[in-house]
């Protein structure tokens, strides 16, 4: 978790060597320039590669995809590509360690989060395609679910990643302590202002009650640079998106504990829309992971 570091932070970036994965890599280096960090570049090879595997798209239709010989050859080729990627960014003066795992995506990320004590997982996305889609098809939201640290999804190539304005959408009934502290640490790296947001749906609490609860949260967690906000909307995702555009914010952040309506936003089909179709970077944190 971001709350557990003092000086050095560890950032994990999955890569399949595509341009989409570069979005995440570039953002990771921007963060590393702001805060002393080490970047781990992870390439995952599924042990029994078949049509569902696309970590290296050209292997999808090969008749040798399930052979151990082919896996060995793929390991060799991907190791060289990882080395080339590290060389490409060596002038950034940020420590980088390439990692290659022959495993399922879930196990590879899970193991790396634990082994390397990762503080932040960064992934590139573009429209309906994400780096995690490229690595393991439908496992995008699964990766968010299993992550024990914040996950940053970067939507497009950014010449500069410097989010000064963050919309933090929350559910007032959730256990928010770990999530808010982590996102507060992230905001401190960039000197960002946090806009606390609660989306009011029909038969929900009133505006005054929501604002009072948001203010109480801000004081409880000693937020310094923040605003409190509500928006009335029947669709949580659309409400967050509309508010973010109106505020001209740089990043959307969501906290969930896996049990509420907002959790469905993060872990269900609505979450995929938010992560895949919004042009804004999205920072998610699951407090119960």
- Domains of the chain as residue ranges with CATH: 2-154 (3.40.50.620), 165-286 (3.40.50.620)
Question: What is the per-residue pLDDT for 173?
Answer: 72
Q: What are phi and psi of 56, to 5 degrees?
A: -130, 100
Question: What is the per-residue pLDDT for 94?
Answer: 93
- DSSP letters, 233-272, are -SSHHHHHHHHHHHHT-SEEEEEE-SSSHHHHHHHSHHHH
* Residue 262 contacts residue 256 (beta carbons within 8 Å): yes
The residue written with tokens 């509309």 in the block is: 242
Torsion 246-247-248-250 (CA) sign: negative
Question: What is the per-residue pLDDT for 235?
Answer: 86
The residue written with tokens 């060995």 in the block is: 72
Average pLDDT by stretches of 10, the chain with 289 residues: 64 91 92 92 78 46 60 91 93 92 86 92 71 45 62 84 93 80 90 95 87 94 95 89 93 73 47 63 78
C-alpha of 278 from chain center: 13
Torsion 182-137-54-282 (CA) sign: negative
Q: Which stretches of the chain are assigned E, i.e. beta strand?
A: 9-14, 37-45, 96-102, 120-126, 129-130, 151-154, 165-169, 193-200, 226-232, 251-256, 282-286
* Residue 256 contacts residue 219 (beta carbons within 8 Å): no
Question: What is the per-residue pLDDT for 26?
Answer: 93
């Amino acid at each position: 978790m971001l709350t557990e570091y003092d000086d050095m932070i560890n950032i994990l970036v999955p890569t399949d060597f595509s341009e989409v994965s570069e979005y995440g890599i570039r953002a990771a280096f921007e963060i590393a320039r702001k805060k002393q960090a080490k970047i781990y570049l992870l390439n995952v090879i599924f042990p029994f590669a078949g049509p569902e595997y696309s970590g290296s798209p050209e292997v999808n239709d090969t008749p040798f995809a399930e052979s151990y010989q082919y896996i060995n050859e793929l390991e060799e080729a991907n190791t060289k590509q990882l080395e080339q990627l590290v060389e490409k960014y060596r002038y950034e003066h940020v420590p980088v360690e390439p990692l290659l795992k022959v495993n399922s995506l879930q196990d590879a990320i899970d193991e790396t989060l634990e082994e390397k004590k990762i503080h932040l997982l960064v992934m590139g996305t573009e429209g309906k395609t994400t780096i995690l889609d490229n690595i393991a098809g439908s496992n995008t939201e699964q990766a968010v679910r299993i992550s024990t640290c914040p996950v940053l999804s970067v939507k497009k190539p950014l010449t500069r990643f410097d989010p000064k304005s963050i919309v933090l959408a929350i559910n007032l009934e959730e256990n928010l302590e770990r999530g808010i502290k982590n996102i507060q640490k992230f905001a401190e790296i960039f000197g960002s202002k946090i806009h606390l947001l609660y989306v009011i749906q029909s038969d929900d609490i009133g505006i005054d009650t929501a604002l009072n609860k948001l203010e109480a949260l801000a004081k409880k967690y000693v937020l310094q640079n923040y605003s409190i906000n509500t928006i009335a909307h029947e669709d949580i995702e659309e409400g967050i998106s509309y508010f973010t555009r109106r505020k001209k914010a740089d990043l959307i952040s969501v906290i969930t504990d896996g049990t509420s309506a907002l959790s469905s936003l993060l872990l269900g089909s609505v979450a995929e829309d938010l992560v895949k179709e919004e042009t804004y970077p999205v920072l998610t944190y699951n407090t119960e992971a």
